[in-house]
Structure 1
Amino acid sequence: MADQHLHVFVTVAEMENFSRAAEQLHMTQPAVSQYIRLLEQTVGARLLDRSNKYVRLTKAGEIVYHHAKEIIGLHTRMQNLVDDLSNKASGNLAIGASYTFGEYVLPHIIAELKRKYPEIHPMITIGNTKEIAEKVSGRLLDVGIVEGEVRQPQLRLEPFADDAMFIISSTRGRWAQQGEVTVQDLQSKTWIVREAGSGTREAADNLFAAFQMVPMHVLEFGSTQIIKEAVEAGLGVTLLSKWTIRKELALGSLCTVKVRGTPYIRKFSLIRQETPFYTKAMELFCELTVQHMASLDQQGGNGSGHSDEDI
């Protein structure tokens, strides 16, 4: 295990309570307090502000916490790589994914991973593309799956699947029964988009640029689910991945809008640290992810028995 003092400190910081941390670590509270005191003496700074109600990180504590997470992660990966030389794939695997892939595709891959490799223990983090890339870069995640551009030289980017994105409207709107819509029609509508840093927002901005269009009204939401609800309620239109709208299309609550130049195609990409060493668990997960998407593509693109033309 990585340095026990750092492990205890990270646990206290995350639980924000000495008693809960002691319970989590299967230690006594005085023992936990002693570890923290010794670490503070070693670092030469107070790391935690303590009161009867809370435990909070000091500025120095924030620095130590960030690097302690990275050190613990590096130690774990080192041990996993050594274990891989003689053992079958096992251990923790920290996986990050941006919202579209993480919420609508990744659960099926994780279920398959657990069936095939029960000794691999995935831990999932969902965020926008920018957040996931930063966590992989900072070694807080082993591997990430994103749908936006990543321009960090220390990361290895591996595109592995296309993602078709469609302009979406409520079935109660006039566009539900209309033929092809013009760019001028699109410009006059309220557009509901994700926040900056999201791969879905980046795709919408790229589409606007390709159409040489500046929407007259824009609403920004931080959740794909809220965007779908807003579009269904008739607040406006949006650009979403086919993966996010399958149920709504089947139920008839949302519809695609026919526009020349759509669907907009982007890439799903795996991101990892640029290093010659990857754990067996990470390699197997990446292989399984690529195979899963290739299998769905052979089935018709969405794994539901419908072809992309149906979408």
Structure 2
Amino acid sequence: MNIESLQMFCLVVDEGSISQAARLSFVSQPAVTRQIHQLEDSYGTLLFDRTDGKLRVTEAGKMLYPFAKAIVGDYSRSKEVIKQAMGQNNINLNVGATFTIGEYLLPSLLGKFKKQQPEIRVTLTIKNTPGVLEDLANDVIDMALVEGIVERNDFIVEEYADDELILVCSPDHTWDMQIQIEELLNERIILRESGSGTRVIVENMLRENGILDKIDSYMELGSTQAIKSAVEAGLGISILPRLTVERELGLNLLREIDINGVTIMRKLWLVKKPQRFNKPGVSQFLEFIHNK
């Protein structure tokens, strides 16, 4: 048994296909099969069931998988630590973020971090909350910054900031500075796509105030920028994170409206996998986040 066999085993499980694992590894399918057989010989049991032309992970394979992932991860991190100590490579940090955080908060944050740690090469991946958490689970990224609710016990979740969601409309809307929440029923509400952390929070607020099921007119758009443009054009109203509309409010392109008795605050979360050893770069970024 060797690290390469464990790496290949994990890749086959993740991809669900020997042929796809071979393509991603730039090796032949027989080479992948040999490594899996070597691993099975080492453990004395089958790790995959190949009956009926379909590849299925056996119970033994399912038990081995988390241990193999941990071993492969520790080995990869150990190599980076040693290379760093010998001055042989730069440090790579892969950060995942949801759209709001990735587009409006992280650019300036990462800029400041890079000034403090210029030797660290940072890659940013932006997806919705489920997509970012899937990347974290599959070790595509080292950590995730999300605004959505994280309901997984296999992650470490830490609060790192607060954000407020506010009601915005076009500058020429007839509303006064404050409205009653029932007045939203007379408007077209523009929402993010299903699965968005922002949408979940807005819908929960509307549900708690008894009006979610009474809303007849709404529009769904796939980006915050599209929503801002639609609101500015008078196509509807929206409830958006304050950090995404600060520029438009300052330029009087959008107007903030207070909802009487309603304040929508949310937590921004830093999510990572439990690790015995942090990858180089992760510790520095975590320290930077906590001290900013």
Same fold (TM over 0.5): yes
**Separation of aligned partners in 2, 1:190 and 1:267:** 27
Structure 1 residues 228 and 70, CA, compared in 2 at 3 Å: closer, same or farther? Answer: farther
Q: CA RMSD in A?
A: 3.5
CA distance in structure 2 between the aligned counterparts of 1:246 and 1:189, rounded to whole angstroms: 23
Alignment of 1:211-222 (within 5 A): 211-214=209-212, 215-222=215-222
Q: Does 1:197 align with 2:195?
A: yes
Match of 2:162 in 1: 162
CA deviations on 1:116-157 (whole Å, 9 max, x unpaired) are 112211111101112112211222211000011101111000
SS at 1:245 equivalent: helix
Q: Which residue of 2 aligns with 1:181?
A: 179
Question: Do the aligned residues in 1 keep the contact of 2:95 with 2:143 (CA within 8 Å)?
Answer: yes
Counterpart residue number, 1:109: 109
CA distance in 1, matches of 2:141, 2:245: 28
Q: Which amino acid aligns with 1:202?
A: V
Question: Unpaired segments of 5 or more residues in structure 1?
Answer: 14-20, 26-31, 45-57, 61-66, 293-311
Q: CA deviation at 1:267?
A: 0.5
2:31 paired residue among 35, 38, 43: 38
How far is the alpha carbon of 1:232 from its aligned partner? 1.0
- Aligned in 2, Cα 1:258/1:156: closer, same or farther, shift over 3 Å? same
Q: Distance in 1 between matches of 2:110 and 2:203?
A: 31
The corresponding residue for 1:76 is 76
Q: Deviations along 1:220-254, whole A, 9 cap, x unmatched?
A: 11211111111111111111111100111111111
* Aligned counterparts of 1:181 and 1:237: Cα–Cα separation in 2: 13
* Ranges in structure 2 where 5+ consecutive residues have no aligned partner: 16-22, 38-53, 57-65
1:113, distance to aligned residue in structure 2 (A): 1.9
Cα distance in 1, alignment partners of residues 111 and 255 from structure 2: 30
Distance of aligned partners of 1:89 and 1:160 in 2 relative to their CA distance in 1, 3 Å threshold: farther
Q: Which residue is 1:143 aligned to?
A: 143
**In 2, are the aligned partners of 1:165 and 1:262 still within 8 Å (CA)?**
no
Alignment check: 8 A CA contact 2:187 2:237 kept: yes
Q: How does 1:181-260 map to 2 (within 5 A)?
A: 181-214=179-212, 215-260=215-260
Give the Cα separation in 1 of the matches to 2:36 and 2:4: 14
Distance change >3 Å, CA 136–CA 43, structure 1 → 2: same
Contact 2:91–2:280 under 8 Å retained in 1: no
Aligned length: 252
Quick one: distance in 2 between partners of 1:110 and 1:59? 42
State the SS of the aligned residue for 1:283. helix
Q: Secondary structure at the match of 1:151?
A: coil
Local SS of the residue matching 2:93: strand
Post-superposition shift, 1:270? 0.3
**TM superposition shift of 1:219:** 1.4
Whichever residue aligns with residue 287 of structure 1, its letter is E
How far does residue 94 in structure 1 lie from its aligned partner after superposition? 1.1
CA distance in 2, matches of 1:275, 1:74: 8
1:74/1:139 contact within 8 Å kept: no
**What CA deviation, in whole Å up to 9, does each residue of 1:280-300 have, x standing for no partner?**
4112112212333xxxxxxxx
- How far apart, in 2, do the equivalents of 1:278 and 1:225 lie? 35
Identity across matched positions, percent? 29
Q: Name the amino acid aligned to 1:208.
A: L
Alpha-carbon distance change, 88 to 251 in structure 1, aligned in 2, over 3 angstroms: farther
How far off its partner does 1:72 sit?
7.2
Query: Secondary structure at the residue paired with 2:225?
Result: helix
Aligned-partner SS, 2:135 = helix
Map 1:89-108 → 2, pairs under 5 A: 90-108=90-108
SS in 1 for 2:141: coil
- Report SS of the residue matched to 1:168: strand
Secondary structure, counterpart of 2:258 in structure 1: coil
3-state DSSP of counterpart to 1:258: strand
Residues 115 and 171 of structure 1: CA distance in aligned 2, closer, same or farther (over 3 Å): same
Letter in 1 for 2:185: Q
What is the correspondence of 1:33-72 to structure 2 with a 5 Å cutoff? Answer: 38-39=31-32
Checking the alignment, whether the CA contact within 8 Å between 1:70 and 1:139 is kept in structure 2 is no
